[in-house]
Chain A
Amino acid sequence: MNGGLGAVVRAAGGGLGSRRLQTVIIGLVVLAATAASTLALGLLADVHSPFDHAFAQQNGAHVAVTVDTSVASPAQLAAATRVSGVTAVAGPFALASENATITIPRIPGSGTTQLTFVGRSAPSGPVDDITLRQGHWAAAGNQAVVSVTGSVPPQLGTTITVGGQALTVVGIADSVTNTAGVWVLPAEMTAIAGSGGGRQAGSGQAGSGQAQLLYRFASSATSSAITADIGEITAALPPGSVQATADYLTVRQSEQSSVAPWVPFIVAMGVIALVISSLIVVNVVGGAVVAGTTRIGVLKSIGFTPGQVVGAYVLLVGVPAVIGALAGVVCGDLVAVPFNQETAQLYQVGALGVPYWVDLAVPVAVLALTLAAAAGPALRAGQMSPAVAIATGRAPRPKRGFAAQRALGRLTRVPRPVTLGFASPAARPGRTLITLVAVLFGAVAVTFGVGLAISLNRVFTEISAAPHLPVTVSGRSPLGPGNTTGGAGRKGKVSIGVAAGGLSAAQQQAIITAVGKQPGTLHYLTVSTDSLSLPGVSEAAGPVQFTAYGHGDPGWSGIALIAGRWYASSPAVREADVNTLFLTDTGTSVGDSFTIASGRHAVTVRIAGELFVPSNSAAVYTSPATLSAVDPAASGVGQYAIAVQPGVQPQAYANQLHAALGGNYEIRASNKTATEIVAITTLATLLTLLIVSVAGLGVLNTVALQVRERARDIGIFKALGMTPRQTLTFVTCSVGITGLVAGIIAVPAGIVVHHGVIPAMVHAANSGYPPNVISVYSLPEIAALALAGLAIALAGALAPASWAAGSRTAAALRTE
């Protein structure tokens, strides 16, 4: 039996071996399909895994509750730890939000920021088992451990001064749910609470304190389960004593939101890749088996059973498919590495890989699809009588497209090889349709990819003021360079307010004089920043970021308005512009009034406009006067941001300014490209290339089949005087028209995909968007993109067309 199958494989192998090209194409298509799917699925799976991984490791808190200890007694707190559904509790830990001054060793000066202090005697515990990354836990009253994601730069030896007491940072720790910015010994908390003039909940009575309770619950997977859990806790505590609750789902979402914007894009690309791959795999594999029909007939006529025949063919398709699938998984994994490493560094959870289930599921699914595609035609051929099989393979297929041939033959002005080619698609409508769809998907990917790149470029040139105000001057930062940029990801949560030490009046005068004298200055804005905790605004990703542009038109910042207008610069007018997240968090809209309450100050502003500032934190832009009314303790103008005249190099300008101002100023010229845009553009390019090459391989397969089938016709053409170049023209035109049509359909289709995915991406980044982020396709671009289908078709047709052009004429005519 086995020997019999071996014989069949060899016998059938002769048939497929002579179709080496198809075997190679099957392998390559399966490879590209598997690689694209592995990459897309692997990245998707990775969006959730790093946080979950760390959360499980640390027994992260499902819910953190802040309780007012002036309302709830210790006994009531203890009772609250025994509510139903709780599986583990930590705390109560004393908690306080206070303003503190931070001094970093060897860096002159200091900064002030609001910090959340929590008293804990040890990092370990049944809940929120904190990972110590550097140093040790606080062992004495004057020691502190800072969060790796908090506002204090994670550097040992840093001094935190709060309430007149200096704490030295002795450890760097990581709590996955960010339960605190600074940890100290519990005994220290009495000295810290209420000392720094920080936020005082409620009436802010002296002596009142706060406590943190950390819970793990049995049911915690959904936000409704979490809400129920929180309800249990609240019910167990006296009314009004629960000041704040935070759940891990919010943190998880915020942790993931730096990756989340890319999910719709990866899903779109993944879906395109999967659809096109399935289509091509089915087409190629089915075509290979059908092409072997005659041989199947011959095999059966010499005594092979249908089962043996089917098995042999499925096996013969399976071999290149398995090789392709394995190679595809390896390629997908390799390509995914750089992207995942970036994520891994972000989360500090060690090296990540594509999850094992993806590495397993993708090739299994692709192989199943391939074998299913092969099994249908193979089964049919297996059931066919030998005579029918031989006849089916030999007989000229029913010819179609005579009318097209005739009509095109009349176009005497067009070269004959062109009209001959154009008539070809009509002869095989089914195959033409499959080619059309394959090229269509490829061209959709191109249109979408190009649009995405343009959109991202706009987003990243409008997300920050850097391209518009490329030169910045600030005082020597006490916290060192690098902290003034609030970027995406965990490390980026360093608040701007910490870094910006205010400039003195003398320093400002010096800057104004130097900038005024220097040629190449277009205009400049003063920049004051602050970060404040506002009631009602989510702090899952940090406090609210305040920016005040002064001395000019805030529109010069280049930040795009989604709605409304910029705030009035007049110091008397209380107006502010906010990002979309601020509006969502506070439930306000443009035109509304909003009371910014910080500490003992409350200022009511009119929301003048919605700004395009995609971020995990709420952002407020207002005039310097309004900002100092909100927070008189703010450090004032920290930076001058300068726009240079067209043609002036920012770096050259900065160097010249540095020469004029001297070493006491930090002068920077923006020339950096955002790493996100590089990473995502690379990924988009890769996926687009994979999709396009699958489409190209599909075209190659179809044209190779067509050249094989029409060998006699091509032989006749050549005998009648068709030159190699005319043959090339004929064959490429036969698929060129299909490619052109597909390309023209693909442009609107690609634009639809783009218009669906970009808003989803921006929404995932907690933002609305200005219209020009989505209206990216200009007419010349559309015209060029419409040719993408043609380009894919021609690229795929080139190899078989040149085989046809180089084929021996005499041999082709001999087959009769």
Chain B
Amino acid sequence: MTSLWPAKHAQGIRLARYHGYIERMTALRSGPFSLWPDNDDGGRGTTGRGPTFASMDTLVQLEKVTKRYDSSGPGSAAAPAVDNVSTRIGQGEAVAIMGPSGSGKSTLLNLIAGLDRPTSGAVRVGDERVDKLSEAGAARFRRRQVGMIFQFFNLLDDMTVIDNILLPAQLAGRSRQARRRADELLDTLRIGHRRDAYPARLSGGERQRVAIARALINDPGLLVADEPTGAVDSATGDEIGRLLLDMNAAGQTLIVVTHSPELARRYARRVIHIADGQIASDTLTGHGAPDGARP
């Protein structure tokens, strides 16, 4: 049923370590849902986390990130879209970000993906200080490190499936190497027969799979998805969720913004709740584990 399931030995070790880390970290916190309280006292550096943390490579690190839109209405003192958020996301994690409409989920995702720059605070992804990158630097960063999936697919209507998928590689100037990778992805995502079709002819599920293939063409370290199932029916949403989880199981770090609690529960191992631009809760779910722990 899940052809992507690698179930490799190494994977099992990594996940075991991961669960151990989470358990310990949660135990350290005052509340069961709060990984990092907002009033971080700064005394805890990476080294302060102990050996368990060090063994878990941080991929994304947000430090007191605030984003305030200039044109947020007549009241210039309007609440920031993202308000002093600090968190870390480890290599290989699958994180769901949830929250009501307008709570700042997309903004947060954009900050991580280098599509937008925070008003204050630091955004680190891998070795990059994303918030300090120039426009061109941010574009190169997105191209190499980030795959993006959107609610409305954002495919280019006048390009075929294969041309859509190849585009990020071509922009990066590596179209030749990308051809084989594109064929692999077409196969993996079961859209090989749609290779030369135009997006308008595809179903919602197919379109989103094309978008996923396009996001993965440059083998990014981080895959971010903003409500990837928001524009498809629930069966298709389920399928997309499973696909993303498969990617994660293969080692792909994943951050998914979703409205669907079910999707979050079933396919993510960590759920961050956002309200009014702040992290309201950060919880681990026992679900979505590749080791058959799903209900």
Contact = CB atoms under 8 A, between A and B. Distances in A.
Partners in one complex: yes
Interface of A: 396, 399, 401-402, 405-406, 409, 412, 415-417, 423, 427, 712-713, 715-726, 805-806, 808-810, 813-814, 816
B97 to A, nearest CB: 16
Contact of A813 (B136, B139, B150, B171): B150
B198 A402 contact: yes
A721 B142 contact: yes
B168 interface: yes
A813 B149 CA distance: 12
Given A713-B156, A806-B135, A813-B154, A720 B214 contact: yes
Nearest to A720: B168
A810 B113 CA distance: 10
Contact of B157 (A396, A806, A816): A396
Nearest to A816: B152
B176 interface: yes
B265 interface: no
Give the residue among A423, A712, A723 with the most B Cβ atoms within 10 A: A723
A813 B153 CA distance: 11
Nearest to A405: B158
23 contacts: A401-B158, A405-B163, A406-B159, A409-B166, A412-B176, A416-B170, A417-B171, A716-B154, A718-B139, A720-B143, A721-B142, A721-B143, A721-B218, A722-B139, A723-B140, A725-B136, A805-B135, A808-B116, A809-B115, A810-B106, A813-B115, A813-B154, A816-B152
Interface in B131-166: 135-136, 139-140, 142-144, 148, 150-152, 154, 156-160, 163, 166
Interface string B267-282: 0000000000000000
A415 B171 CA distance: 8
A808 B175 CA distance: 26
Contact of A720 (B116, B148, B158): B148
Contacts of A724: 135-136, 139
Closest 7 CB pairs of A and B: A721-B143, A416-B170, A723-B139, A723-B136, A720-B168, A810-B116, A810-B110
A477 to B, nearest CB: 72
Interface in B157-211: 157-160, 163, 166-168, 170-173, 175-176, 198
Contacts of A809: 115-116
A396 B159 CA distance: 15
A808 B138 CA distance: 12
Given A399-B158, A719-B154, 20 more contacts: A402-B198, A405-B158, A409-B160, A412-B176, A427-B158, A712-B154, A716-B156, A718-B139, A719-B113, A719-B142, A719-B148, A720-B143, A720-B148, A720-B168, A720-B171, A721-B168, A724-B136, A726-B171, A809-B116, A810-B116
Contacts of A406: 159-160, 163
A523 B113 CA distance: 80
A412 B154 contact: no
A369 B158 CA distance: 36
A724 B163 CA distance: 21
Given A402-B158, A719-B142, A810-B116, A412 B136 contact: no
Nearest to B226: A813
Nearest to A730: B171
Given A724-B136, A813-B154, A717 B171 contact: yes
B209 to A, nearest CB: 17
Q: How large is the interface on B (under 10, 10 to 19, 20 to 34, 35 or more residues)?
A: 35 or more
Contacts of B176: 412
A718 B168 CA distance: 10
Contacts of A713: 156
A417 B175 CA distance: 13
Interface string B23-61: 000000000000000000000000000000000000000
Contacts of B154: 712, 715-716, 719, 813
Contacts of B156: 713, 716
A203 B197 CA distance: 101
A726 B157 CA distance: 20
A726 B158 CA distance: 19
A415 B214 CA distance: 18
A722 B139 CA distance: 6
Contacts of B157: 396, 399
Contacts of A719: 113, 115, 142, 148, 154
A543 B184 CA distance: 93
A415 B159 contact: no
Nearest to A721: B143
Nearest to A408: B163
B215 to A, nearest CB: 9
B139 A412 contact: no
A816 B152 CA distance: 8
Nearest to A718: B139
Contacts of A417: 171
Contacts of B198: 402
Contacts of A427: 158
Interface in B64-79: none
Nearest to B175: A412
Contacts of A717: 167, 171
A728 to B, nearest CB: 11
A450 B166 CA distance: 46
A805 B163 CA distance: 22
A806 B154 CA distance: 20
Contacts of A722: 139, 171
Contacts of A723: 135-136, 139-140
Contacts of A423: 158
B133 to A, nearest CB: 11
A702 B246 CA distance: 46
A725 B116 CA distance: 18
A76 B130 CA distance: 108
Given A720-B143, A808-B116, A409 B159 contact: yes
B57 to A, nearest CB: 24
A193 B157 CA distance: 95
Contacts of B151: 816
A403 to B, nearest CB: 10
Nearest to B143: A721
Contacts of A396: 157
B142 A720 contact: yes
A411 to B, nearest CB: 10
Give the residue among B116, B140, B167, B171 with the most A Cβ atoms within 10 A: B171
Contacts of B168: 720-721
Contacts of B160: 406, 409
B52 to A, nearest CB: 35
A706 to B, nearest CB: 14
Contacts of B110: 810
Contacts of B116: 808-810
B216 to A, nearest CB: 12
A469 B107 CA distance: 79
B158 A415 contact: no
Contacts of A405: 158-159, 163
Nearest to A814: B106
Nearest to B136: A723
Contacts of B152: 816
Contact of A416 (B136, B171, B218): B171
Give the residue among B167, B172, B173 with the most A Cβ atoms within 10 A: B167
B203 to A, nearest CB: 19
Nearest to A401: B158
Nearest to B166: A409
A806 to B, nearest CB: 7
A814 B115 CA distance: 12
Nearest to A722: B171
Given A716-B154, A808-B116, A415 B163 contact: no
Nearest to B170: A416
Contacts of B171: 416-417, 717, 720-722, 726
Contacts of B166: 409
Give the residue among A396, A406, A719 with the most B Cβ atoms within 10 A: A719
Contacts of A805: 135
A814 B150 CA distance: 10
